[in-house]
């Protein structure tokens, strides 16, 4: 273990990265001393900026529309929608305004996220409701939603099979679950980027080894890294690696069998999918690899599914 941990540490240090406590792309900014000990006005302003940043990202990228070939309108317009893993609410606020959501709900695991989302929705006069909770036990009655959307969240939950079951329970008959997630072995989504930008780390080492190497790098940075350090040095029972549950494309498909979902869309977005020019032949190769059994786990950057409650 010491040998492999040392090797992982050295490889991760080949291309180190340092997150900025001012970066709105980093959820851990709410763990900084400045936020935790700041004035009410400062805390509220940072929360607002986070929501606005997420809103602007959706304006620029339109991530949901980019993932759905037929567009999001049929799933969102005049629907009761849950944003499962809403963070500070900016993204789904944009959906509500552009796609005409009738009633928007959002859920996340942190009071700060929920408070920020609520304040942002109020400021924009949206019919939106946010609560703290977990996807494995959704605090909603049966058959409540027309659509549930989960973007880059399923890889972080404690039990994605239980989340799928809860989505089934709370969807109306004919309702849709839109799930987009990076599989565990996706080269650039190891979630260790606050320490290292080296790709493919999950191909080379176990999650336990990577987490210990990650801890070692952050220990060397001292108190300056405390705001983005792990609360527990060892992996939790549900973690396969740092904040990741180990979801795979194959594992997700097996979990679907617990309920009779109708799969309306299944797409494995390959590496370099948006590169143009001389990258075109590479894109074709990776697109083929992303649809082959087993190896698809290594060459898919996002699994995208639209499921209908039959």
303 within some domain: yes
Weakly modelled stretches of the chain, pLDDT under 50: none
Does any domain span residue 10? no
Number of compact structural domains in the chain = 1
Whether residue 195 contacts residue 16, with contact meaning beta carbons closer than 8 Å, is answered with yes
With respect to residue 254, please indicate whether it lies within any of the assigned structural domains: yes
Per-residue pLDDT tens over the stretch 239-283: 999 999 999 999 999 999 999 999 999 999 998 877 656 667 778
Tell me if 8 is assigned to some domain: no
CB distance 79 to 101 below 8 Å: yes
* Assigned domain for 212 exists: no
For residue 219, being part of any structural domain is answered with no
| Tally of residues, the chain | 310
Boundaries of domain holding 60: 28-186+243-309
**Beta strand ranges found along the chain (DSSP E):** 80-84, 103-108, 128-132, 145-151, 171-181, 261-270, 300-309
What pLDDT score does 277 carry? 61
Domain CATH for 44 = 3.40.50.150
Measure the CA–CA gap between 111 and 130, rounded to whole angstroms.
10
Residue with tokens 């609520």: 118
pLDDT of res. 74: 95
SS3 304: strand
Look at residue 275 in the predicted model and tell me its pLDDT. Answer: 62
Does 304 map to a domain? yes
Q: Is there a domain that residue 96 lies in?
A: yes
pTM to 2 decimal places: 0.95
User: According to the model, what pLDDT value does residue 73 have?
Assistant: 94
């Amino acid at each position: 273990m010491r040998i492999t941990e040392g090797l992982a540490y050295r490889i991760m240090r080949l291309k180190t990265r340092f997150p900025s406590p001012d970066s709105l792309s980093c959820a851990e900014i709410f763990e900084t001393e400045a936020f935790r000990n700041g004035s009410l006005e400062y805390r509220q302003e940072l929360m607002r900026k986070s929501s606005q940043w997420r809103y602007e990202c959706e304006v620029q990228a339109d991530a949901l529309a980019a993932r759905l070939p037929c567009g999001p309108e049929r799933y969102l317009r005049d629907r009761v929608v849950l944003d499962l893993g809403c963070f500070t609410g900016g993204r789904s606020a944009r959906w509500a305004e552009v796609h005409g959501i009738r009633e928007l709900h959002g859920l996340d695991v942190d009071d700060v996220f929920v408070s920020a989302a609520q304040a942002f929705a109020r400021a924009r006069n949206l019919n939106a409701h946010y609560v703290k909770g977990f996807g494995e036990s959704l605090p909603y009655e049966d058959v409540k939603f027309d659509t549930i959307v989960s973007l880059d969240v399923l890889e972080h939950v404690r039990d994605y099979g239980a989340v799928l079951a809860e989505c089934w329970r709370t969807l109306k008959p004919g309702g849709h679950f839109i799930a987009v997630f990076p599989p565990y072995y996706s080269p650039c989504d190891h979630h260790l980027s606050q320490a290292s930008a080296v790709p493919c780390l999950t191909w080379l080492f176990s999650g336990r080894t990577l987490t210990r190497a990650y801890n070692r790098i952050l220990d060397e940075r001292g108190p300056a890294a405390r705001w983005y350090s792990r609360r527990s040095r060892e992996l939790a029972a549900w973690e396969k690696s740092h904040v990741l549950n180990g979801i795979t494309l194959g594992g997700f498909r097996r979990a679907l069998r617990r309920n009779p979902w109708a799969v309306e869309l299944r797409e494995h977005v390959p590496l370099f999918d948006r590169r143009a020019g001389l990258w075109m032949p590479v894109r074709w190769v990776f697109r083929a690899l992303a649809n082959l059994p087993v190896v698809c786990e290594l060459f898919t950057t996002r699994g995208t599914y639209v499921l209908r409650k039959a």
